[in-house]
Chain A
Amino acid sequence: QLQLQESGPGLVKPSETLSLTCTVSGGSISTSVRYWSWIRQPPGKGLEWIGNIYYTGTAYYKSSLKSRVTISLDTSKNHFSLKMSSVTAADTAVYYCARVNLYSWDIWGQGTMVTVSS
C-alpha cells in the first residue's frame, strides 16, 4: 500500500529557504502516472494548495507562490521535494504531501509542522 511521509527541518529562519521532502513507499514514483502535490495549512486556518509535479517533472504552482516555490522529483530516491525561498512568519504551517488521483487527492502524508522564526 502506497504511503507518503514528509520530512525536513521544523524550524526555518525568516528570509531563508524552506526545504521539505516527501518519501513515497510501497510504490514507484516514476511508474505511477500521477501528479504529486504539496498542500499547507497555517495554524487555525484553512488548507492551501501549493503546487503539483507530474511524474515527468512538469510542475504547476499557485500563482501567488510561484515566484518563491520549486517542486522537484528524484526518481532514484523515490521522493519529491518542496523548496520555498524568502520565507516569512506567514509561511508557518503544517505542510502535507499528497498524491493526485482523478483531480483530487487520494493518499496523504501525515503532515509536518514548519515554523518560521528567528
Chain B
Amino acid sequence: QTVVTQEPSFSVSPGGTVTLTCGLSSGSVSTTYYPSWYQQTPGQAPRTLIYSTNIRSSGVPDRFSGSILGNKAALTITGAQADDESDYYCVLYVGGGIYVFGTGTKVTVL
C-alpha cells in the first residue's frame, strides 16, 4: 500500500518562509504523480492551492508555490501571513485511477 508522508507540523514566523514536503514510502515523487496541495482550516472544506506540481489554482496568492525538491513534492510559503495558519495536505496520483492523500502538515504562524 502506498503511503504518502508529510511533516506533522511546522512553525513559521510572520513574513518567514516555510517549505512543506510530500514523499513516498518507497520511491521518488515526480511530475508524473501530478502532486497537488490543499489548505484546510477547521470546519471548512479543503481549498485547492496547487495542482500538477506547480500550477496555482485561481485566486491563490503567489506566495504559495509548488515544486519538486529532490525526491519529494514541495509547497513553499514565502512571506507567511497569519491566515496561512492551517492544515496542508498533498495528494499524489499513483496511476490506475487511484489517488493517495498525504498525512497532512499543521502550520503554525507565530
Q: Which residues of A contact B (CB under 8 A)?
A: 37, 39, 46-49, 52, 60, 62-64, 96, 101-106, 108-111
CB pair B57–A108 under 8 Å, yes or no, is no
Cα A39 to Cα B89 in complex, Å, equals 13
Which of B46, B47, B52, B57 is within 8 Å of A47, CB to CB? B46
Tally inter-chain residue pairs, CB-CB below 8 A: 62
Smallest CB gap from B33: residue in A: A103
The 6 closest A-B pairs by CB, nearest first: A60-B97, A103-B34, A104-B51, A104-B36, A46-B104, A108-B45
Count, chain B residues at interface, CB 8 A? 26
Is B38 part of the binding interface, using a Cβ–Cβ cutoff of 8 Å?
yes
CB pair A49–B52 under 8 Å, yes or no, is no
Q: Known: A102-B34, A103-B36, A109-B45. Is A49-B1 also a contact (CB below 8 A)?
A: no
Cα A46 to Cα B34 in complex, Å, equals 20
Smallest CB gap from A62: residue in B: B98
Is B96 part of the binding interface, using a Cβ–Cβ cutoff of 8 Å?
yes
Smallest CB gap from B97: residue in A: A60
Q: Known: A108-B46, A110-B45. Is A46-B89 also a contact (CB below 8 A)?
A: yes
